[in-house]
Structure 1
Amino acid sequence: MAENKTINKEQNRTENNEIVIMNFSGIYKEQQFYRNHAEMQEDISWLEVQDLPGSNCYCDEEAKNRILDDIKNYTGNGIHFIDSGNYHYVSRLWLSKMEHPFRLLVFDNHTDMQLPAFGGLLSCGGWIAASLEEVPMLQEVILVGPDEEAYTQVEPEFQQKVQFLSREKLLAMTGEEKNTFFRNLRADLPMYISVDKDVLCTADASTTWSQGDMSLEKLQKFLEIVLQQQQILGMDICGECDPDACERNLLNDRANQKLLELWKKYFPQIRERRQDI
């Protein structure tokens, strides 16, 4: 089974073809997306962080150091499955590995730019703000999916570094206008992508947080445009449901499979373009 497989770290560093599953809650062991293609099995690494103290929604210093230690042998230039939205702050830790100026493209139903109530803690609701403050190579964030009211609550200093496409604007745009938005994204810097499946409608995902209304088909189309046109550094995916209260996990499993297949489809092109970074 994939859980018992470990990827050759030297191959990781050479080919930047990391498929990493971070097991915080155990929910991935109830899914099949990583088992469906035999050729993927040897490419998958499991990081066992289940029930890590100080890691659920908020990440304290001890948990942060443990996670950083677990990912230290990875380049960050792969696709990372990071469990539920409670752990979306892990994106901030992957971003710390980026060695060149870059843009961050985020699909999410929330802004994730709310500073935590408790100082010194990295949070799932504030990781983008923390990244803008703490990751020197991060030049700009492209945030797709939250509603306009939530964005008005974001501190102006962060808004200055964000290109925002709201849920309301997406609903008002034609299909071609949406595609044009992603085709016209500047490509002068490489890009890291972060997807929270709570941006998806309830027909295509079941998450622990309030959800948007984007279809999986539309998300795939937007990602395909970006994967075709941009220099991609890496990608992560979260938005799993609580394993103790999840009746529609099959939806998440299907979404993860589609997104992993998309990554695999474009990975040769992604790898070739990385040589120019």
Structure 2
Amino acid sequence: MKNTEKNKNNKITQIIDLKETVIMNFSGIYKNQSFYKDHAEKEIFWTELSDLSGCNCYCDAEAADRICEEIQNYTGNGIHFIDSGNYHYMTRLWLEKQQVPFRLLVFDNHTDMQPPAFGGLLSCGGWIAASLEELPLLHEVILVGPDEEAYVQVEPELQQKVCFLSREKLSMMTAEEKEDFFKNLDADLPLYISVDKDVLCKEDASTTWSQGDMHLSELMSFLEVVLELQNVVGMDVCGECDQDSGSEDFLNDHANEAILRLWEKMRKSSERMGSE
């Protein structure tokens, strides 16, 4: 972090290095994609984890230690592609690197706040709950995309720390109302964004989990508003498909490309602001 200032909208603005782009190779699926190959002007960092056991859906202590060792030299303030939704718990590990109070914005078709099934192991289905319970700097989660029935099952004490926009409510909102929701998010704290592409419809993504009905164009419009108005300190993207069911993987490749290009646009804008 280089400096911190407050603007007229009470937004905390931090001038930080957002150049870090990390691709986490758990399954090998990214080897089949090309979204990162036309970005020769910036270095892409790879973490090789395809040989790691104890990390698929659930992350045991030994696997967590190895992963933390692999990412120890990264700031966490860039964009991270973290493979399929089976590894969405990686967001919890990236969030540990945040050093000031922050909020978390999640786009997902699931709540990821399920109670742990196996001795408190970090899991792809419970990482948001673990983050809220274990990270004192995390003040609030904005969760967009799950259905209302799933959210009702979340423990009430966790719901108190979540701003929830359900799949059903989204479907009833006008385009202007949706844009206003993201425009009106509090901007007094830095924001980390996590995108699971299973929030997208099957025409725009192919994932290992049940999917929502959001279109990629809609997600991109939401992200653009947030990246423009919020002090975004980091982002990750998951939702890849299994390699043996990857006939529609070109959809994921396209979505990853769109998100990476938008991130780079925001980063360059942030750098210009920092130089003024």
TM-score (norm 1): 0.91
Match of 1:25 among 19, 22, 27: 27
Q: Structure 1 stretch 115-124 or stretch 62-71: which is displaced more?
A: 115-124
Aligned to 1:6: none
2:80 is paired with a residue of what secondary structure? strand
* One-letter identity of the residue aligned with 1:37: H
Q: Map of 1:77-226 to 2, 5 A cutoff?
A: 77-226=77-226
Matched residues, number = 260
Instruction: Work out the CA distance in 1 between the residues paired with 2:111 and 2:271.
Output: 30
Call closer, same or farther: CA 1:244–1:169 in 2, change over 3 Å: same
1:208 is paired with a residue of what secondary structure? coil
Call closer, same or farther: CA 1:250–1:187 in 2, change over 3 Å: same
Contact 1:232-1:270 within 8 A present in 2 as well? no
1:38 is paired with a residue of what secondary structure? coil
The CA deviation at 1:37 is 3.0
* One-letter identity of the residue aligned with 1:32: S
Contact 1:25-1:51 within 8 A present in 2 as well? no
TM-score (norm 2): 0.92
Contact 1:206-1:252 within 8 A present in 2 as well? yes
Contact 1:112-1:126 within 8 A present in 2 as well? yes
Instruction: Work out the CA distance in 1 between the residues paired with 2:80 and 2:274.
Output: 18
Call closer, same or farther: CA 1:127–1:80 in 2, change over 3 Å: same
* One-letter identity of the residue aligned with 1:264: E
The CA deviation at 1:192 is 0.1
Instruction: Work out the CA distance in 1 between the residues paired with 2:106 and 2:49.
Output: 24
The CA deviation at 1:52 is 1.0
Where in structure 1 are there 5+ consecutive unaligned residues? 1-13
RMSD of equivalent CA atoms: 1.4
Contact 1:16-1:75 within 8 A present in 2 as well? no
The CA deviation at 1:246 is 1.5
Instruction: Work out the CA distance in 1 between the residues paired with 2:139 and 2:270.
Output: 21
2:179 is paired with a residue of what secondary structure? helix
* One-letter identity of the residue aligned with 1:162: V
Instruction: Work out the CA distance in 1 between the residues paired with 2:171 and 2:263.
Output: 26
The CA deviation at 1:272 is 6.5
The CA deviation at 1:136 is 1.1
Moved over 4 A (4+): 271-275
* Residue-by-residue CA offset, 1:61-82 (whole Å, 9 max, x unaligned): 0000000011100000000000
1:20 is paired with a residue of what secondary structure? strand
Contact 2:22-2:79 within 8 A present in 1 as well? yes
Aligned to 2:247: 247
2:245 is paired with a residue of what secondary structure? coil
Call closer, same or farther: CA 1:271–1:75 in 2, change over 3 Å: farther
* Residue-by-residue CA offset, 1:23-51 (whole Å, 9 max, x unaligned): 000000000000023323xx210000014
Where in structure 2 are there 5+ consecutive unaligned residues? 1-15
Contact 1:142-1:164 within 8 A present in 2 as well? yes
* One-letter identity of the residue aligned with 2:238: C
Give % identity: 68
* One-letter identity of the residue aligned with 1:131: S
Match of 2:41 among 39, 49, 67: 39
Higher relative helix content: 1
Instruction: Work out the CA distance in 2 between the residues paired with 1:253 and 1:237.
Output: 12
* One-letter identity of the residue aligned with 1:169: K
Instruction: Work out the CA distance in 2 between the residues paired with 1:274 and 1:186.
Output: 22
Instruction: Work out the CA distance in 1 between the residues paired with 2:200 and 2:268.
Output: 27
Instruction: Work out the CA distance in 2 between the residues paired with 1:237 and 1:87.
Output: 10
Call closer, same or farther: CA 1:158–1:273 in 2, change over 3 Å: farther
Instruction: Work out the CA distance in 2 between the residues paired with 1:146 and 1:101.
Output: 25
